[in-house]
Amino acid sequence: MLEELVGSTWHRFITKRAEIHYPEAIVHLDDVRYTTGIFFRALGGEGGLRVENATDSDVHARRTILQRIAGVGDKTQYAWRDEETLRLPESIALFPSKQLNSNLYLWLTALSVVTVKEGDWISRNQQRTLKTLAIWPGLQSTYQALLNAHIAQRPEPKSLSEREAKQEQIIRSALVDSSAKYQLEYAKKPPQPVPLWLHPSPPEEELFTSKPVQDPDQAETSEAKKDQKKQQSRKQGNRTDMPEGNDGLMSFRLESLWSWGEYSKVDRTSTDDDDDDVMQTADDMDNITIAQDSETTASKIKLDLDLPANQYDDIVLGEGIPIDEWDYKKQRFQKDHCRIIPMISRHVDPIDLPLKLKSQARRIRRQFEMLRPQRHWVSRQTEGAELDLENYINFLADRKHGHVNSDTPVYRDLRNETRDLSCLLLADLSLSTDAHISNTSRVIDVIRDSLYLFSEALSVSGDRFALHGFSSRNRNHIRFYNIKGFDDSYNNDVRGHIDAIRPGYYTRMGTAIRHATQLLEQETSSQKLLLILTDGKPNDLDKYEGRYGIEDTRQAILEAEKKGLQPFCVTIDEKAEDYLPYLFGKNAYMLIKNAQQLPAKLPQLYLRLTR
C-alpha cells in the first residue's frame, strides 16, 4: 500500500510539472460536438460528415527532461478530415482560457472546410489559413488571439540547437505571415506540433474503410457482422501483409520489454473464446496493425445472423422488387441495385389487444373520436337542402327597406366533414431492436406496443393507414414486412401480425423508404404522411455502413418530399441528433429519450402532425 501511495503521488507530481496544459480550462469534444457540426455545415462543409475524435499521433520533437521522466509529450492529436468524418482532438487544454480552447475547435473546423492545392505541410496550412480568413474575415480576431497565445507557448529559438532554432523560426514566421513561402531544413529533431494547423500527414482512408474480401451479396460466403463495442478513443492504425499462419514464434529480450515496442510479422491464431475480450485488448494498445485475409472467425455469431431454413422462415410474396440506390461519390443512381423482398410472418394467430394496453387504448380512442367524420349543417349557402331561417329573415328585412341582393345566401346544407389523409408507418425491425431497455422489456416490445396503440387510435379516427416493417442482410435481401395494408381492416388478424414481428438483421433505410414511398404515392389522399420509426442509423453488411448509407437515405427522403409526401422520423437513438437533422431537417424528426414512453407519445405526435 505504501509503495502504491508513493508511486501514485510521484506520478501526479512529475506529470503535473512536465505537462504544459491547463486542466481547469479543458474543453472536451463531446461538449462542443453539436456546435462544431452546425458551424462546419454553416460554413459550407458537407452535411454528411460526422464529427469524431482524432487519433493519437507520435511526436518526435525534442522533449524536456521532465517530460522524458514522466513519459509525456510524445503524443498529440491533430485535426483532419476524410470523406466520412471530420476528426478533432478529443479534448483541448492548451490555453489557460476556456474560451480560447473552445475557439480553437471552431478555428480547426473552419480550416477543414476549405480545400487547397497540393504542397508540403507548411504551405498547405498557410493556404488554408489565407483562404479561411479571406472568406470569413470575422474569424481574424479569433485567429489572432489563438496565434498570440500559441506563439507565447512555443520554445524560444535561442534555447535550441542551430538547425532546430532555424526550424522553429521558420514555423513562427509561417504562422505570422501566411502569404510568404517557407521550407523546413533538416534537423536532428523535428519542430514542435502546431495545434493551429491540420494534420501534417493524415492517415490513409483505407485504414478506416476496409473492403471485404468476400462478396456480401452471397449468403453462403458472406461474413456476419460482429457485435460491436464502442471504443473510448480512436487508435492509430497501420496496414501490413497477412502473416503466415504456421508461424507462432515471438522473440524479444526481456530487458527491452518496457523500453520500446516493435512489430513482428507473426500470426496470432484466431479463436472464438468467450473470455477473450478483444475490445479491451484494443483499448490497451496505442497503435494497431491490421492485415486482411479471407478467413472467417466467430462462426457461431454468423450462424445467428444467417437466414433460417425455408420451412421456418417467413413467407415470401413474389420474386422481389428492384430498387435504385444513390451513390454519393458518383452523384448518380445505381439502377436496380437493391431488391425488396415483400414478406408476411409465417406463424400468425389472431389475438385480442393485450390486456396491459386496454386501459391506455380506451383513453387514446376517446381522444381520437373527435377526428371521426361527422355530418353537420353549413349555413349561408346559395344552394342547399333547406332554408336558413335566420338568414332568410334578414333577407326579408333588407328587402322591406329597399336593400335587395339577389345573391343573398339563404340556404343551409348537410355535409360530411372528412379528413383526406393517408399515413404509412414504417418500423425498423433490425437486430438492434433485440436490445433490452429494462429488466422486462426490449426495444422490439416497445415498437410492438406502439403499433398496437397507433392502430387503435387511427382505426377510430377513420384515417387510412398502413403498417410495414423492414430489415436487411445485404443489397439483394431487404425484407419488407406487410403488417397491414391501406385497404385492410384493423382487426384481430392484424393484431396477430403485429404480435409476430421479431428482430431481423440490418437497416438499409434508403431502400425501404423508396418502396414505402411507392406504396404511399398510390394513395389518392391530399395529405400523405410517411412516419418512420427507428432505433439507429442506416447500416448494412456492405458499404452501406457510414456516409454512403446516410447519403442514400437522405436522397430517398428528398425524393419522397418531391412527390408530395411528408416524411417524419421518430427515434429512440440517443445519438440521433448527430445525423437526423441532416437526413430529415430540424423540424421533421423527434427524439424520445425514454423508449418506454414511445407507445403513448406516438399517437400524440400523429395528432400534432395532422391537425
Work out the pLDDT band at 160, boundaries 50, 70, 90.
confident
The residue from 158, 184, 202 where one domain ends is 202
Whether 187 and 170 have beta carbons less than 8 Å apart is answered as no
pLDDT at 34: 84
Total domains in the chain come to: 3
Amino acid 433: pLDDT: 92
* Pairing of β 589-591 and β 566-571: parallel
What mean pLDDT is reported for the chain? 80
Q: What is d(CA 446, CA 352) in angstroms, rounded to the nearest whole number?
A: 18
Running DSSP on this structure, what letter comes out for residue 560?
H
Among 454, 455, 513, 437, smallest CA distance to 480 is for 513
Residue 122 lies in a domain: yes
Residue 256 lies in a domain: no
216: pLDDT strictly greater than 50: no
Contact 557, 516 (CB under 8 A): no
| Amino acid 536: pLDDT | 87
pLDDT value of residue 71: 64
- pLDDT confidence band for 27 (50 / 70 / 90): very high
Q: What is the pLDDT of residues 31-89, one digit of tens each?
A: 998 889 889 988 988 888 888 888 888 777 777 666 666 666 677 888 988 888 899 99
CATH of the domain at 446: 3.40.50.410
Q: What is the pLDDT of residue 101?
A: 92
Give the mean model confidence (pLDDT) for residues 304-317.
64
For cell 510539472, the residue is 17
pLDDT-derived band at 334 (thresholds 50, 70, 90) equals very high
> What does the pLDDT read at residue 209?
44
Structural domain includes residue 554 = yes
> Tell me, what's the pLDDT at 403?
72
- What pLDDT digit, counting tens, does each position of 271-307 carry? 444 444 555 555 555 555 555 554 544 443 433 455 6
Q: How many angstroms separate the CA atoms of 580 and 599, rounded?
A: 21
Q: Are residues 396 and 465 in the same domain?
A: no
Q: Is the pLDDT of residue 132 over 90?
A: yes
Residues 387 and 459 in one domain: no
Q: In terms of residue numbers, what domain contains 489? A: 346-352+420-610
Q: What percent of the chain has pLDDT over 70?
A: 75
What pLDDT was estimated at residue 318?
75
Q: Please tell me whether the overall predicted TM-score, pTM, comes out greater than 0.85 for this model.
A: no
**High-pLDDT (> 90) share of the chain, %:** 41
Q: What is the rounded CA–CA span in Å between residue 152 and residue 315?
A: 71
Residue 226 placed within a domain: no
Whether 73 and 193 have beta carbons less than 8 Å apart is answered as no
Do 593 and 502 have their domain in common? yes
**Cell digits of residue 159:** 534555447
Who wins on pLDDT, 239 or 583?
583
SS3 per-residue string spanning 88-137: ECCEECCCCCHHHHHHHHHHHHHHHHCCCCCCCHHHHHHHHHHHHHHHCH
Query: Looking at residues 499-517, what average pLDDT do you find?
Result: 95
Assign 322 to helix, strand or coil: strand
